[in-house]
Structure 1
């Protein structure tokens, strides 16, 4: 009769909750029972663990009653991350390895039937949780997951390739010392600088849209591009990450941790602003997250980056309406019967749409086939509350072939990014946040406008029937324009330009 405890972690959103894997061996009818609110994937660990122990040259106690408890019992557990700690608990309870040595480490990893360790989701989240503790515990992970966790500077990470390698480190007759190919310490990694993305110099013409893109990048504003097919809307949106300021280390860790939860982490993308481009058939759950257990959606995968929604009116109405709350708060709270999780969703929205169903409304050479009712119905798929939350609404007209083929290239992304960084730095020194995040009293204090600017903004809001939210958003855009120009206070010219960026649909 034996009892052993092994430490692991369960994911709940971006939080990695401590889990104690308790294994009890007793005489009686042979059985393998797993309790503790385990999902189907976790319960299937019984067969994987049995085969992995047998194929690793170790002894599985098949003639005893095995009870595995994943504590706390009210915390849901999912995925195959508990295969390794369950196997180690069985080996410790049967006296094949030392239980005392296991108490100073945290284990996670999926086992193959042959005993090889396979990567698991959320390695970065586990490493971040352990790094916050006063004395970070040793984190033992499979290849792939270990390199990912080593991106956290304070983490102590070991890479293990096989169950036999882990068991060899904790055998009673062989203390863990030295290193070999199957068990090795992974030093803290310093990722290489990200490769440059698409350059804004490749976009010919479209001076107004390029200016709006620069303003959006400087202030963190959302952007809607309206124009006929082939005008360059997608090209502009895909080049927005290249003009945004570089990511800070904590921002890169947050974005990488969310990608790790979804199994999309790639070391080559470290430090690069993410851009998420879901298809217009995506459901609301795909956008905001969901499922059981809840997984991050596209808005969370675009955290600290760009969410690009092409063909905006073609998205389901309820999916677009689900964006309203995270656009304001930068977070999304998902509530299910057994789960309550919160994911970060501080993204910059860039959307693109045609002006009408056929796409040729306002085109200089092609005639539009749509009736006014069809145009109104098509544009009416976007609700007023959603449009209110989009700061910049810009028309992207069709360009003549001569300008596309013979016109000079645009300004490169590096030059635009230098101005964006200077404007963003002015905002951060003044108020500590980007202009898009100004709220309430902070907006009144830091987005102060002179008398002519206030009069112009009031006249525009009255004439165009703006809501209070639209007025405040236009004032934030004007504050960003003033930062790009180096103005201390918002001037009338800044307000006039900001007003023009909210009329792409209203003017039709």
Structure 2
């Protein structure tokens, strides 16, 4: 019995699947078993048509194709090519099919097509170190060529796939990989890539020096940011420009981003620019966190992993969404439990949010009169609980005056500052940036000088800081110190950090 190695996607991870077939005497039939989905069941008709239109004879035997292990549910049309090859080569004894992972959907004319699930499957297998050589079509090869340590062989139809296995010269089918062409920096033998194109620039924002500095700190250390201000003062403009000044990305992060794009049915790109997700405040809890009646599906917080999640009009999000956000903000992961599945998603996103000071938005305005009474304002602010707000690293109030526009700063200048701070953090030995440091890492990296230590003790008493708040202050101060080029956290760094705490 021959078999071909393939795989199926289970949530975010791939599971290895052996496609095996038997050919026995009996009434001619063609059956696929192994807890298969509808897309695999329909593979029978695609395979039959592809073989018959390319002058291959269908064996007059009882054919049973099994996708093993049988207790795991499989889905995806990428099993077509594996099934077709087993049927075409069932009489060939000297051909070794087991050395290659094979993926591809078959057209009715025998052409091999790409599917949206192949890239995340191959990436997951590569991370598990399960895959070495792979046979796919050219469109798939272009996508997966960025994955390191992978031998990719390209075929265009079922006939060329058969020729590949019969050929002694496999190298002529080898796909030539393209190198990354983006700017990069090398830190401790690891390469990090970044894009220096700024489609939206901070130069467009008038005034708002303190909020722009807060945005710089947020980007440099992956800190959560809440901006409060009147409508039209520039909150959304800052949020949209943040993605252009975020830290460089490792190859693993670029591939992870591409994997999430494929799972979201988006065109896969390999641009080293972090993802930006901005769900509307009417979005359901399931669309934000993931869900589904039987199988857990990916939501906005998982799709924004290693990127930015922006909540505009923060108090208008449902109370259940805001309270459920506390876990992924604190633990950087979330567990989605359903009847048949339990899935853990990484949620290392930078949370950016914006809100008005009151329902009408004019409470802080210098030119417009607020129409809200105290009860309405209090009810509006009470939509955000203290435990939720305690997870915000940076809180900044924005003014609605645009007269002071002397201190203009461009996205390129801010990005250069972020990259310098990023290099400092990585050379210090940090795996995570300052905003995602654990309690143990805070003690190691967030070292205060003597003056700062005394100041922090006073601040803890005066501001009644919780343990979480103290850690947030230290992490923000560490990022400000990195931006200022200070080895230890100094008094000015800590004062600026304390000014960004919500009181």
Q: Deviations over 1:353-411 (max 9, x none)?
A: 222222222111112222222222222222222211110011122234x56xxx45721
Structure 2 CA distance, aligned partners of 1:17 and 1:151?
Answer: 21
3-state SS of paired residue (2:64): strand
In structure 1, C-alpha distance between the alignment counterparts of 2:84 and 2:339, rounded to whole Å:
31
> Are residue 25 (structure 1) and residue 16 (structure 2) matched?
no
Of residues 75, 82, 88, the one that matches 1:78 is 75
Contact 2:132 2:149 in 1 (8 A): no
Distance in 1 of aligned mates of 2:28 and 2:374: 76
* Residue of structure 2 equivalent to 1:168: 163
- Take 1:368 and 1:152, find their aligned partners in 2: how far apart are those partners? 55
Answer yes or no: is the 8 Å Cα contact 2:101–2:131 preserved in 1: no
Cα pair distance change 1:134/1:306, threshold 3 Å: closer
Secondary structure in 2 matching 1:436: helix
Residue in structure 2 matching 1:369, options 371, 380, 393:
371
Deviation, structure 1 residue 281: 2.5
**CA, structure 1 residues 111+293, in 2 after alignment: closer, same or farther (shift >3 Å)?**
farther
The match for 2:433 is 434
Residues 132, 356 of structure 1: alpha-carbon distance in 2 compared, 3 angstrom cutoff: closer
> 1:305-454 alignment to 2 at 5 Å?
305-400=307-402, 407=405, 410-432=408-430, 433-454=432-453
**What secondary structure, in the 3-state scheme, does the structure 2 residue paired with 1:393 have?**
strand
| Alpha-carbon offset, residue 497 of structure 1 | 1.6
2:98 maps to: 103
- Match of 1:53, SS state, is helix
- Residues 2-31 of structure 1, C-alpha deviation per residue, up to 9 Å, x if partnerless? x43111012234432211011223333444
Structure 2 match to 1:141: 136
When residues 454 and 133 of structure 1 are mapped into structure 2, their CA distance, relative to the original with a 3 A threshold, is closer
Match of 1:91 in 2: 88
CA contact (8 A) 2:136 2:154 kept: yes
Show the 5 A alignment for 1:207-286: 207-267=209-269, 269-286=270-287
> Aligned residue for 2:188?
none
- The answer for unaligned runs of 5 or more in structure 2 is 183-194
Is structure 2 residue 183 aligned with structure 1 residue 188? no
Q: 1:481 and 1:199 mapped to 2: Cα distance?
A: 22
Equivalent position SS for 2:249: coil
Quick one: distance in 1 between partners of 2:481 and 2:78? 51
Contact 2:246 2:273 in 1 (8 A): no
**Alpha-carbon shift at residue 75 of structure 1 (Å):** 2.2
Distance change (3 Å), C-alpha of 1:441 and 1:136: closer
Deviation readout 1:326-361 (Å, 9 max, x if unpaired): 223333333333334333322111111222222222
Whole-angstrom distance in 2 between the partners of 1:494 and 1:195: 28
Q: 1:98 to 1:396 in 2, by over 3 A?
A: farther
Quick check: 1:310–1:351 contact (8 Å CA) kept in 2? yes
The alignment partner of 2:135 has SS state of: strand
TM-score (norm 2): 0.88
- Alpha carbons 2:226, 2:394 under 8 Å: kept: yes
Query: Closer, same or farther in 2 for the Cα pair 1:138/1:490, shift >3 Å?
Result: closer
Q: Aligned residue pairs: how many?
A: 488
Secondary structure (helix, strand or coil) at the match of 1:24 reads strand
Could you tell me whether the CA contact under 8 Å between 1:289 and 1:298 is conserved in 2? yes
**Separation in structure 2 between the aligned mates of residue 337 and residue 135 of structure 1, nearest angstrom:** 29
**Could you say if the C-alpha distance between residues 273 and 368 of structure 1 is closer, same or farther in structure 2, counting changes exceeding 3 Å?**
same
Any idea what SS the aligned residue of 2:280 has? coil
Q: Give, in angstroms, the shift of residue 254 of structure 1.
A: 2.4
1:218-262, Cα deviation, whole Å (9 max, x unpaired):
222111111122111111112112222221223222222332333
Residue 55 (structure 1) shift: 2.6
Q: 2:186 maps to which residue? A: none
Asked if 2 retains the 8 angstrom alpha-carbon contact of 1:201 and 1:409, the reply is: no
2: CA distance, partners of 1:98 / 1:187: 30
Per the TM alignment, residue 323 of structure 1 is displaced from its structure 2 partner at its CA by: 2.6
Where 1:414 maps in the other structure, the secondary structure is helix
Tell me the equivalent position of 2:470: 471
Q: Deviations over 1:427-476 (max 9, x none)?
A: 33335242223322332333233454344434444444432211211121
Contact persistence 2:449–2:489 (CA under 8 A): yes
Is the partner of 2:421 in helix, strand or coil?
A: helix
Looking at structure 1, the residues matched to 224 and 174 of structure 2 have their Cα atoms a distance apart, in angstroms, of 44
| 1:288 and 2:289 matched | yes
The CA deviation at 1:208 is: 0.7
The 3 A distance-change label for structure 1 pair 328 and 99 is farther
Range moving further from structure 2, 151-160 or 292-301: 292-301
On the 8 A contact 1:30/1:66 being kept in 2, the answer is yes
Identify if the C-alpha distance between structure 1 residues 135 and 52 changes in structure 2 by more than 3 Å, giving closer, same or farther: same
Offset at residue 417 of structure 1 (A)? 2.1
Instruction: Label 1:116 to 1:310 Cα distance change in 2 as closer, same or farther (>3 A).
Output: farther
The answer to whether structure 1 residue 59 and structure 2 residue 57 are counterparts is yes
Q: State the distance in 2 between where 1:409 and 1:161 align.
A: 57
